Amino acid sequence: MSTSPVSIAIIGAGGVGKCFLSQLQALAARRPNPKLSLVYISTSKKALFKSDYSAIPIDSAVQELSAASTAPLALPKVIEYLAAAPSKVVLVDNTSSQDVADSYPAFLRSGISIVTPNKKAFSGSYQLWQDIFNAASTSGAKVYHESSVGAGLPVISTLKDLVDTGDEVTKIEGVFSGTMSFLFNSFAPLEGSGGKWSAEVKKAKELGYTEPDPRDDLNGLDVARKLTILARLAGLPVESPTSFPVQSLIPQALESVASGDEFLQRLPEFDSEMESVKTTAEKEGKVVRFVGSIDVATKSVKVGLEKFDRSHPIAALKGSDNIISFYTKRYGSNPLIVQGAGAGGDVTAMGVTSDLLKVLSQI
Amino acid sequence: MSTSPVSIAIIGAGGVGKCFLSQLQALAARRPNPKLSLVYISTSKKALFKSDYSAIPIDSAVQELSAASTAPLALPKVIEYLAAAPSKVVLVDNTSSQDVADSYPAFLRSGISIVTPNKKAFSGSYQLWQDIFNAASTSGAKVYHESSVGAGLPVISTLKDLVDTGDEVTKIEGVFSGTMSFLFNSFAPLEGSGGKWSAEVKKAKELGYTEPDPRDDLNGLDVARKLTILARLAGLPVESPTSFPVQSLIPQALESVASGDEFLQRLPEFDSEMESVKTTAEKEGKVVRFVGSIDVATKSVKVGLEKFDRSHPIAALKGSDNIISFYTKRYGSNPLIVQGAGAGGDVTAMGVTSDLLKVLSQI
């Protein structure tokens, strides 16, 4: 690890962003080398930075930012500003912005490394994916995105290690959404009978486990984005998260209702459909779960409801945990499994912070 | 990643060593940069190396080695030879030798990085542990040992990421021995009643799941070594693998019988003891498993038999899989779990190869 100072630029100071700042502060206090200097931080409305790249105090950055009146720089200007910094630079993108993601190739071409939980960059068009990794490969800048799948769980790093050491990944299967995990572990539990589908969705929303409009979870797109990332890492040139079958759990009649609240009000009309899915599985001695799977040999990627034996690790999942099973040639019939919380500010930020440490050890 | 060539030295060409060589060959073919040059390879009896450091062909190294008549260099001479190499050097120690392990500080002080599955280096005296990491920190040489616990499973890297990003690890618990996993999954399975203890030990030996003398698994020392490594990474200065309670499954009367065969012959005399352990657990609706656990707050490390609810992930383990649960402040009541094959040449070599890739990206 070089001991020259490294400049850190952060875009995004929401839930994950705040947790990351707190981890960054602890890290800077614990590890004096290399000296980390925060030179830019912005939200969609405001930014903090100095023309002489002097360091912004990490502990008061969020407060200073909320008191600031400077608008954020346009992304090409951010790149220009950071490329001219007197030290190496790591961009931490804590947004879920497609615009920021679309600028990754330009950041990387300018030698700026990137760590991020932003799924959009890696699950958008395959062209963007190629542009990102080609730019990194040409400039030598690094790009890490552990938290784009399963938050801080070692999912991306494990898959990369399998591939890079020459193992043959045959299948990846799992529960990739904390929301879907919670919903199905409550709706179709191993013990007891579970509540009505609409009631479980309502409860999940009240507990903060869903997006403000629960349809943004139930449409399956979040899971499809994660599958796209993993499939590409496993070698499949998946065109986009809508280029393979994704089962939406939004009843067609409710797709276009005006609000999430109206959706929740009318959802009970469709409880019998989900109830029948549940009882069909029960009659086979199984439980229903919302999973994603990638079959590498047949190049098939899909997202939707599947039935699992009650002894299957996917059936036994608890709370809002994720589980990801890697079937490979080396691991044979028993997969390598990673399991645990796959959402939440602290564990998502942890993936970003550990990615930052990996970049710092290499630049 | 630097593009200057890197010299590789390998000690050990047994099961893991051969699998590693095959992965190294595939790696060198797939990734031309940095150029990897095998400059030294040895077993306990023989060695291959040239005074001008010219490359040994990786694909024929094992054959050439068996035809060779050169004795291996003494370890101080190996260090001298490698320290004078014209490029950076990584030592791959694929032995389980205490002597090689004891030389790690000297290798590292000479700027030679190390990747290894050798548990002895990290589970011997706490002084050796400190010497190793102090030497690495002073010289900047790297030392990675993922496969010292759970073979290629992401155990060490996950624990390091948790600690390095500032999470507070409260407890680590799991099944750390493929042999013990197989024995208890067969002896006290979730479904059915399982065989007699002595019959399961005999079967495990016949299937190649035990050491030549099964007592080398049943004494618990292998698990104690792994616990020592994880406890130290979690911040506990554990003095040695015999400085905490380790339950041996060798009946006292059989500790000193002359051979593994005699041990197996007499083991049935003690079946009733293990049977009573099993039925006691069954009466509580539980199953018995051989586990290791680390409670960080109370600084308590222990290895032995424990009872688990039938719905516990440890109870549901299959085949000879390992499972490791990390309980941390950030992950709360549901631990981060890693599970899968924790032994075998290919998956052990995979951990070594992925460690090598990490070192190559940093030197």
Q: What is the mean pLDDT of each run of 10 residues along chain B (363 residues)?
A: 83 95 94 91 96 95 93 97 97 97 98 97 97 97 97 98 97 97 95 92 91 93 97 97 97 93 95 96 96 97 96 90 97 96 94 97 93
Q: Which residues contact A149 (CB under 8 A, 6 or more apart)?
A: A119, A155, A156, A176, A226, A229, A230, A324
C-alpha angle with apex B314: B162 to A293, nearest 5 degrees?
Answer: 75
How far is it, in rounded angstroms, from Cα B222 to Cα B120? 10
Compute the half-sphere exposure of residue A65: CA atoms within 13 Å on the CB side of its CA: 28
How far is it, in rounded angstroms, from Cα B196 to Cα B250? 15
Identified catalytic residue from B88, B120, B205, B226: B226
B226 is catalytic: yes
Q: What digits encode the pLDDT tens for the residues B162-210?
A: 999 999 999 999 999 999 999 999 999 998 889 999 999 999 999 888 8
Test the A interface: residue of B155, B165, B339 with most A CBs within 10 Å: B165
Residue B270 DSSP class: G
Q: Which residues contact B29 (CB under 8 A, 6 or more apart)?
A: none
How far is it, in rounded angstroms, from Cα A334 to Cα B294? 26
Please tell me the pTM assigned to this model.
Answer: 0.96
Cross-chain residue pair B166–A30, CB shorter than 8 Å? yes
Cross-chain residue pair B334–A340, CB shorter than 8 Å? yes
Looking up tokens 């390598």, which residue turns up? A336
B238 annotated to a ligand binding site: no
Cross-chain residue pair A347–B338, CB shorter than 8 Å? no
CA B163 and chain centroid, separation: 20
B192 annotated to a ligand binding site: no
Cross-chain residue pair B339–A341, CB shorter than 8 Å? no
Residues of chain B with C-beta less than 8 angstroms from the C-beta of A331: 340-341, 347
ipTM above 0.90, yes or no: yes
Strands (E), chain A: 6-11, 36-42, 47-49, 88-93, 113-115, 143-144, 169-175, 286-295, 300-309, 321-328, 336-341
Q: Active-site positions of A?
A: 226
How far is it, in rounded angstroms, from Cα A324 to Cα A322? 7
Under 8 Å between Cβ of A92 and A9: yes
Name the minimum distance, in Å, from the CA of A223 to any CA of chain B. 20
Query: In order along chain A (363 residues), what is the average pLDDT of each group of 10 residues?
Result: 83 95 94 91 96 95 93 97 97 97 98 97 97 97 97 98 97 97 95 92 91 93 97 97 97 93 95 96 96 97 96 90 97 96 94 97 93
Name the minimum distance, in Å, from the CA of B50 to any CA of chain A. 28
Domain ranges of chain A: 6-152+346-361, 155-341
Under 8 Å between Cβ of B272 and B250: no
Q: Which residues contact A213 (CB under 8 A, 6 or more apart)?
A: A259, A260, A263
DSSP H or E segment with residue A10: strand A6-11
A135 annotated to a ligand binding site: no
Q: Taking CB atoms and an 8 Å cut-off, how many pairs form between chains A and B?
A: 126
Cross-chain residue pair A339–B339, CB shorter than 8 Å? yes
Q: Which fold has domain A6-152+346-361?
A: Rossmann fold (3.40.50)
Name the minimum distance, in Å, from the CA of B219 to any CA of chain A. 27
Helix (H, G, I), strand (E, B) or coil at B84: coil
pLDDT at B226: 98
Residues of chain B with C-beta less than 8 angstroms from the C-beta of A27: 165-166
How far is it, in rounded angstroms, from Cα A49 to Cα A77? 12
How far is it, in rounded angstroms, from Cα A250 to Cα A256? 10
Closest alpha carbon within chain A to B161: A354
Closest alpha carbon within chain B to A360: B362
Residues of chain A with C-beta less than 8 angstroms from the C-beta of B339: 313, 336-339
Under 8 Å between Cβ of B194 and B348: no
Under 8 Å between Cβ of A325 and A147: no
What does the buried/exposed string (b/e) look like for B149-162 if buried means 16 or more CB atoms within 10 Å of the residue's CB? bbbbbbbbbbbebb
Read off the tokens for A197: 């589908």
pLDDT at B33: 82
How far is it, in rounded angstroms, from Cα A171 to Cα A326? 6
Read off the tokens for B344: 């075998």
Residues of chain B with C-beta less than 8 angstroms from the C-beta of A341: 330-332, 334, 336
How far is it, in rounded angstroms, from Cα B307 to Cα B290? 9
Cis peptide before B34 (omega within 30 of 0): yes
Residue A329 DSSP class: T
pLDDT at A3: 66
Residue A253 DSSP class: G
Strand-pair partners of A41 = A10, A48
Residues of chain A with C-beta less than 8 angstroms from the C-beta of B155: none
Phi, psi (5° rounding) for residue B47?
A: -150, 155
Residue type, A154: P
Q: Name the nearest CA neighbour of A361 among A44, A7, A2.
A: A2
pLDDT at A191: 86
Cross-chain residue pair A347–B341, CB shorter than 8 Å? no
B16 annotated to a ligand binding site: yes
Under 8 Å between Cβ of B296 and B235: yes
Under 8 Å between Cβ of A126 and A232: yes
How far is it, in rounded angstroms, from Cα A175 to Cα B138? 44
Fold match between domain B6-152+346-361 and domain B155-341: no
Q: From the list B23, B162, B339, which residue is nearest A165 (CB)?
A: B23
CA B245 and chain centroid, separation: 20
DSSP H or E segment with residue A22: helix A15-30
Under 8 Å between Cβ of B304 and B245: yes
How far is it, in rounded angstroms, from Cα A104 to Cα A83? 13
Q: Which residues contact B69 (CB under 8 A, 6 or more apart)?
A: B46
Residues of chain B with C-beta less than 8 angstroms from the C-beta of A360: none
- How many CB atoms neighbour CB A60 within 10 A? 11
Closest alpha carbon within chain A to B310: A311
Q: From the list A23, A167, A339, which residue is nearest B337 (CB)?
A: A339
Domain over B155-341 is classified CATH 3.30.360.10: yes
> What is the torsional sign of CA B235, B239, B242, B245?
negative
Helix (H, G, I), strand (E, B) or coil at B10: strand
